[in-house]
Amino acid sequence: MRKDEAAPAEDEVAQALARLPELADADLVRRGRFLTVACLFGTPSAPLHVTIEAGQVVEVLRGPVLMRSWRFAYRATPEAWAAFWEPVPRPGFHDLLALTKRGAATLEGDLQPFIANLQYFKDLLALPRGSFGKPVGRAA
Amino acid sequence: MTPDFEPITGRYLRCEIAGVPHRVYVEEAGSGIPLLCLHTAGSDGRQWRHLLNDEEVTRHFRVIAFDMPYHGKSNPPETWQGEEYRLTTKSYTDTIRAVSGALGLDRPVVMGCSIGGRIVLNLAIDHAAEFRALVGLEAADFQQPWYDTTWLHRPDVHGGEACAALVSGLIAPGGPDAARRETLWHYMQGGPGIFKGDLYFYRVDGDLRPRIGAIDTAICPLFLLTGEYDFSCSPDDTIRTAQSIAGAEVTVMERLGHFPMSENPAQFRSYILPVLEKIRHLEGETR
């Protein structure tokens, strides 16, 4: 996050993650073709339920959703997501696991699908990089 | 037509390591001061190809990079019966000294990266007089673990892809894409459990904090260089380590991560050439 800016709202993080289905290209979907999973991405207090089928992000649902299951969760502070999505992120904010190591993100649940498809998830969650905080669509 | 060969030659060296016969793959180029290069955990000597091909370096240095046993083109020894591979401070040190001895090197410079950087510190502690200078890249006496290494070797996760994906975040953003892919390719090609076994040295056996103060840079100069994007061995880890070593030189390298020599060779070159130049002039060296 740039110093002169206010902390990004959780809403902005949710909006960025809601765009994952349109941002994912055919090659990313191909690399995830053996992956079908329900997971939780976002901020600690307002994560989104993300459903992936055969590598395709088919649903991004804002919670809370009562009694909805998920295999694993990756949650980071809004500030961490904003830094991660800088066009050239600064050291320590450039990788999902750099964020967990510095305590800015947590990884919970059954990690097998996450680790077995780790580069897929790193690339998927990096898709808003460079466009975070900028207007999207026709209004841009 | 003359074949467009690079100046690197690769050969297999027969040598005993701790009394066990090995067949170690060694690449080298250049002549002058021997410079023995150690690759990172789970990778192999290909990481050093840009240094081996750099005429500015090979004009003054005989650059040598070998694949550790179980890595690259160095097979496990014939005595191996499938037992779990585990690198230790002792076995790693034995390997480096055995290869150096079998090559007949006279007080080589040793430059190692990551686990290679850690073991360079152990060489400085226990065997300093055998070396002309030591260079630790991404080196510290200890680092905080950041993942569970059991993920690296289990049947429900593809080992090669998981190893590469884990370390991919240690590469600085903005470097050459081909170099990034090549660095990760080496990780995809490691033998099952080998990266994990190397990290046994890193995580379990090789905590050098209690002994780091024994390093005497008057016997053997020590240079430590760490990339700013390395969050496994961070610049802070290296700087903290150097605070216990009088005379150690520390450089934090911008726009580089955990694999400086292979992830961005041109950027690394700008940092390592001045260090090699200093080493060349140690002890009134004139070669």
* Closest residue to A115, CB basis, from B144, B151, B234: B151
- B233-257 in b/e form (b: 16+ CB < 10 A) is bbbebbeebbeebeebebbbbebbb
Quick one: DSSP state of residue B203? I
Provide the 3-class DSSP secondary structure of residue B70. coil
Q: In whole angstroms, what separates CA A40 from the centre of its chain? A: 9
Q: Identify the CATH assignment for A10-127 out of 3.40.50.2300, 3.30.1050.10, 1.10.3720.10, 1.10.10.10.
A: 3.30.1050.10
Neighbours of B137 (CB within 10 A): 32
Determine the Cα–Cα distance for residues B253 and B232; give it in Å rounded to an integer: 15
Under an 8 A CB cutoff, do A101 and B174 touch? no
ipTM tops the 0.90 cut: yes
DSSP bridge pairs for A8: none
Under an 8 A CB cutoff, do B169 and A95 touch? yes
Determine the Cα–Cα distance for residues A61 and A43; give it in Å rounded to an integer: 14
Under an 8 A CB cutoff, do B229 and A94 touch? yes
Strand B20-29 to strand B9-17: parallel, antiparallel, or no bridges (unpaired)? antiparallel
Nearest-neighbour CA in chain A from B228: distance (Å) = 6
Q: Give backbone dihedrals phi and psi of B20, rounded to 5 degrees, phi first.
A: -105, 125
Could you name the CATH architecture of B9-284? 3-Layer(aba) Sandwich (3.40)
Under an 8 A CB cutoff, do B156 and A116 touch? yes
pLDDT per 10-residue tile (average), chain B, 287 residues: 96 98 98 98 98 98 98 98 97 98 98 98 98 98 94 98 98 98 98 98 92 97 98 98 97 98 98 98 62
Say what the pLDDT of residue B287 is: 40
Chain A residues with CB inside 8 Å of B177's CB? none
Under an 8 A CB cutoff, do B156 and A91 touch? no
Task: Say if A33 is an interface residue toward chain B (CB within 8 Å).
Answer: no
Say what the pLDDT of residue A7 is: 65
Task: Say if B169 is an interface residue toward chain A (CB within 8 Å).
Answer: yes
Task: Say if B195 is an interface residue toward chain A (CB within 8 Å).
Answer: no
Say what the pLDDT of residue A9 is: 85
Say what the pLDDT of residue A140 is: 35
Determine the Cα–Cα distance for residues A73 and B24; give it in Å rounded to an integer: 44
Task: Say if B213 is an interface residue toward chain A (CB within 8 Å).
Answer: no
Strand A105-109 to strand B9-17: parallel, antiparallel, or no bridges (unpaired)? unpaired
Closest chain A CA to residue B168: A119
Nearest-neighbour CA in chain A from B136: distance (Å) = 20
Residue A17 or residue B206, greater confidence: A17
Neighbours of A50 (CB within 10 A): 25
Give residue limits of the domains in chain B: 9-284
Q: Give backbone dihedrals phi and psi of B63, rounded to 5 degrees, phi first.
A: -85, 125
The residues, ordered by sequence, that sit 6+ positions from A30 with a Cβ below 8 Å of its Cβ are A55
Interface test with B, best of A28, A71, A107, A119 (most B CBs within 10 A): A119
* Residue of A19, A15, A61, A18 lying closest to A38 (CA atoms): A61
Determine the Cα–Cα distance for residues B191 and B272; give it in Å rounded to an integer: 30
Task: Say if B172 is an interface residue toward chain A (CB within 8 Å).
Answer: yes
Interface test with A, best of B148, B157, B228 (most A CBs within 10 A): B157
Chain B residues with CB inside 8 Å of A88's CB? 173-174
Provide the 3-class DSSP secondary structure of residue B191. coil
Q: Give backbone dihedrals phi and psi of B159, rounded to 5 degrees, phi first.
A: -60, -50
Is B170 in contact with A127 (CB distance < 8 Å)?
Answer: no
Task: Say if A122 is an interface residue toward chain B (CB within 8 Å).
Answer: yes
Say what the pLDDT of residue A133 is: 81
Say what the pLDDT of residue A128 is: 97
Task: Tell me the C-alpha to C-alpha distance, in Å, between residue B223 and each of B42, B73, B108, B115, B242.
Answer: 24, 29, 14, 15, 9
Closest chain B CA to residue A86: B173
Q: Which residues 221-280 of chain B have a CB within 8 Å of chain A?
A: 228-229, 231, 234
Under an 8 A CB cutoff, do A97 and B146 touch? yes
Say what the pLDDT of residue B286 is: 39
Is B236 in contact with B142 (CB distance < 8 Å)?
Answer: no
In what side-by-side order are the strands of the sheet with A105-109? A56-62, A47-53, A37-42, A72-76, A105-109
